[in-house]
């Protein structure tokens, strides 16, 4: 059985459809329930739903042989895993945003609220800007509105959250998409099965390019 960690939520469902089309289906996953693990002996796969930011932990430690995680999570946590394929799903971008009237006064330390302290620090180090990181766990857009921070570093997908909170993108940091990742020793010992899945998924992903 290959253990596969899927990110819980809409992206996870789209990603499961890709596995299904690649021939690794597991119909029970589509039944409405609170179950977290689903397996199909015929196709030899066991899927489980994981909080998106936990996927690399399961894969790095070998509880999952394969997993799907956003490039944001991979860059933030730098897990010791193989990144096999860009699934070109869940596309969004990491960006700096702030109130529309905000102008950076470079003499002051910039207060940056984010769920991604490593990505934010690396970005500002590269451009030589002195910052103070304020690590939050969600609703990041509130920080500049309430004066907790000057800017945020966060994911922008449709831009709706920024727009509806009178914020705007000030700088783009990097494009993000979902990646297929593999545990390093699983990749060595189950190279045939993993190779087959990666190959089939690659064909499907390039069809859509």
- Could you give the CA distance from residue 66 to residue 60 in angstroms, rounded to a whole number? 9
Q: For the stretch 42-77, what's the b/e string if a residue is b when 16 or more beta carbons lie within 10 angstroms of its beta carbon?
A: ebebbbbbbebbbbbbbbbeeebbbbbbbbbbbbbb
Q: Which of residues 7 and 79 has its CB atom nearest to ligand PRP in the complex?
A: 7
Q: Residue 182: enclosing H or E segment and its boundaries?
A: strand 178-182
Confirm or reject binding of residue 156 to ligand PRP (CB under 6 A): yes
Tokens 């690590």 — which residue?
Answer: 135
Size of the site for ligand PRP (CB under 6 A): 12
Instruction: In angstroms, give the least distance from the CB of 127 to ligand PRP.
Output: 22
Pick the binder of ligand PRP from 140, 173, 176, 181 (CB under 6 A). Answer: 140
Q: Which stretch binds ligand PRP (CB under 6 A): 12-20, 153-161, 172-180, 198-206?
A: 153-161
Strand partners, 46: 3, 39
CA-based end-to-end distance of the chain: 31
Pick the binder of ligand PRP from 126, 138, 207, 209 (CB under 6 A). Answer: 138
Confirm or reject binding of residue 139 to ligand PRP (CB under 6 A): yes
Q: Which stretch binds ligand PRP (CB under 6 A): 42-50, 63-71, 76-84, 135-143?
A: 135-143
Confirm or reject binding of residue 117 to ligand PRP (CB under 6 A): no
Cβ neighbors of 204 (< 8 A, separation 6 or more) are 18, 21, 22
Instruction: In angstroms, give the least distance from the CB of 119 to ligand PRP.
Output: 13
Confirm or reject binding of residue 160 to ligand PRP (CB under 6 A): yes
Length of the chain: 209
- Interface residues with ligand PRP (CB under 6 A) are 138-141, 154-161
């Amino acid at each position: 059985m290959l253990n596969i960690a899927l990110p819980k939520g809409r992206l996870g469902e789209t990603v499961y459809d890709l596995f299904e089309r690649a021939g690794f289906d597991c119909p029970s996953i589509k039944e409405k329930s609170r179950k977290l693990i689903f397996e199909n002996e015929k196709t030899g796969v066991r899927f489980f739903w994981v909080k998106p930011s936990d996927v690399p932990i399961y894969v790095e430690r070998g509880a999952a042989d394969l997993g799907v995680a956003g490039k944001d999570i991979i860059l933030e946590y730098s897990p010791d895993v193989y990144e096999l394929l860009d699934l070109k799903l869940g596309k969004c971008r990491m960006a700096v945003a702030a109130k529309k009237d905000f102008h950076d006064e470079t003499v002051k330390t910039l207060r940056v609220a984010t769920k991604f302290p490593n990505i934010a620090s690396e970005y500002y180090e590269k451009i030589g800007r002195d910052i103070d990181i304020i690590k939050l766990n969600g609703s990041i857009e509130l920080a500049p509105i309430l004066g907790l921070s000057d800017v945020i570093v966060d994911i922008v997908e449709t831009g709706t959250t920024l727009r509806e909170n009178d914020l705007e993108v000030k700088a783009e940091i990097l494009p993000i998409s979902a990646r297929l990742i593999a545990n390093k020793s699983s990749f060595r010992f189950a190279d045939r099965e993993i190779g087959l899945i990666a190959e089939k998924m690659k064909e499907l992903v390039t069809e859509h390019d």
